[in-house]
Amino acid sequence: MSQTILTVDDSRTMRDMLRMALAGAGFNVVEAVDGEHGLQVLGAHTPDVIITDINMPRLDGFGFIQRVREDRDHRATPILVLTTESDPSKKDRARAAGATGWIVKPFNPDKLAEAIRRVAA
């Protein structure tokens, strides 16, 4: 059975890009538009990997990661954050919140699939 990836990003363009790349690599994709929505989606899905943006309305990426790590059902789910540049302070903050790894935007489908492989059991 193919693995399911949850993408959390407020940008439709980015969600579409992720979907195209992930679906092309054979993953199932579920989407959320911000952190709060992401938590709701986690109520109904158990993704193998979560990919999340940082800057989002309502609940940003840091807060989202933290809440997932507090959630008994999902705290062991790998979370990859999307960062725009290889940005040390943002990356550190995301890791402190519990991010498993990161993907530097703009990504290509191969890099994306590789990052997932590096965290997915």
Residue indicated by tokens 């929505």: 37
Tokens of 101: 């790894």
| Member of 16, 46, 73, 110 binding another protein (CB under 8 A) | 16
82 contacts 103 by C-beta, under 8 angstroms: yes
Q: Contact between 97 and another protein (CB under 8 A)?
A: yes
In the list 5, 22, 39, 99, the residue contacting another protein (rule: CB under 8 A) is 99
**Which residue in the set 20, 46, 73, 110 belongs to the binding site for another protein (CB under 8 A)?**
20
Nearer to another protein, 7 or 77 (CB): 77
- By residue count, the chain amounts to 121
33 near another protein, rule: CB under 8 A:
yes
Q: Residues binding another protein: what is the number (CB under 8 A)?
A: 53
DSSP secondary structure, 22-77, as one string = HHHTT-EEEEESSHHHHHHHHHH---SEEEE-SS-SSS-HHHHHHHHHT-TTTTTS
Q: Is 37 in the site for another protein (CB under 8 A)?
A: yes
Which CA distances in Å does 40 have to 30, 33, 64, 86, 108? 12, 11, 11, 29, 28
**Residues in touch with another protein (CB under 8 A):** 10-14, 16-17, 20, 33, 36-37, 55-60, 62-63, 66, 69-70, 72, 75-79, 84-90, 92-93, 95-102, 104-106, 117-121
